[in-house]
Amino acid sequence: MIRVRKFDGSLEAYNRKKIVAFCLRMGASKGEAKAIADRVEGRLYDKIQTKNILQMARRYVARYQPKVRLRRDLRSAISLLRSKPDWELFVQHLMSEIGFEVEGNRILRGKCVENEVDGVLRKNAQTIMLEVKHHAAPHTKTRLDIPREVRSIFEDLTEGFTLGYHDIDFTDALIVCNTKFTTEAKKYADCRGIGRLSWKDPAERGLEVIIEEEKFYPITILREVDKKMKTTLGDNGIIVLKQIIDADLKKLAAKTGIREERLEGLERNARKLLVG
């Protein structure tokens, strides 16, 4: 049996489905994905690193779908966003895209202290306290301390509302994070009714599925967006590819100091990824 060494150093049995799913996510057709999985399997060896398998698959996908060369994988792309304000804004925009009415960060007086929330989401009868979390290292898990804190903030704010200290009647809390939660953190959040949206979590429709469905790619998905450009664009509120396509590039060039030709190149590649 071929075993695969994961990012955390642990071993697990090779799973063909994961490769096929990865190729589909990278834009391959079903037939292409299967053919790629066959080719990858011809080159496996025991204890091969996940990273190496994915690089291999990625290279094969690029032969069928050249535009793949333009992009980073989604997981790296979102981990490259800055925690503040990029990731916070990204999540707020994404939530709005999937049908929530979104209010940006607020400082609200709870029973005991002032609490900062990263957003207020509304849909039907729900009013959700949003807590956003970002890890620059995509394999750092969100631990128990985060849902514990959210629980205390939620308590403080709902009691503060009852006391008339602020006017938002929160019904729920939600943590949106770019990385996975630890098992204990999930258990605690489930037990306390705190919602989670993160990498492959919930399993049936995690963050990565929503982003792919909405093609709500961060600008960092383009390989040509380096640290400096990410910062300049982020400082000007440009965080997702769609914004580049919608922008008036002449004005954006004037505002950011990035050459207009470079922005045009960016827009061209953004279109290739989005339209595909």
Q: Which residues contact its own copies (rule: CB under 8 A)? A: 111-114, 144-145, 148-149, 151-153, 155-156, 184, 187-188, 191-192
Q: CA Rg, the chain, in Å?
A: 21
Beta strands across the sheet bearing 126-133: 101-103, 119-123, 126-133, 172-177, 194-197
Question: Which residues neighbour 6 within 8 Å (Cβ) at sequence distance 6 or greater?
Answer: 12, 50
Closer Cβ to its own copies, 152 or 256, answer by number = 152
Task: Please give the full DSSP string across 187-213, using - where no structure is assigned.
Answer: HHHHHTTEEEEBTTBSTTS-HHHHHHH
Closer Cβ to its own copies, 115 or 220, answer by number = 115
Closer Cβ to its own copies, 36 or 130, answer by number = 130
Distance of closest approach, residue 222 Cβ to its own copies, in angstroms: 35
How far apart (Å, rounded) are the C-alpha atoms in residues 276 and 273? 6
What single-letter DSSP state applies at residue 26?
T
Distance of closest approach, residue 113 Cβ to its own copies, in angstroms: 5
Closer Cβ to its own copies, 22 or 188, answer by number = 188
Distance of closest approach, residue 276 Cβ to its own copies, in angstroms: 43
Distance of closest approach, residue 8 Cβ to its own copies, in angstroms: 21
How far apart (Å, rounded) are the C-alpha atoms in residues 131 and 77? 20
Closer Cβ to its own copies, 189 or 258, answer by number = 189
What CA–CA distances, in Å, run from 14 to 19, 45, 49, 74, 179?
9, 10, 10, 22, 22
How far apart (Å, rounded) are the C-alpha atoms in residues 97 and 128? 16
Distance of closest approach, residue 161 Cβ to its own copies, in angstroms: 16
Closer Cβ to its own copies, 58 or 134, answer by number = 134
Distance of closest approach, residue 110 Cβ to its own copies, in angstroms: 9
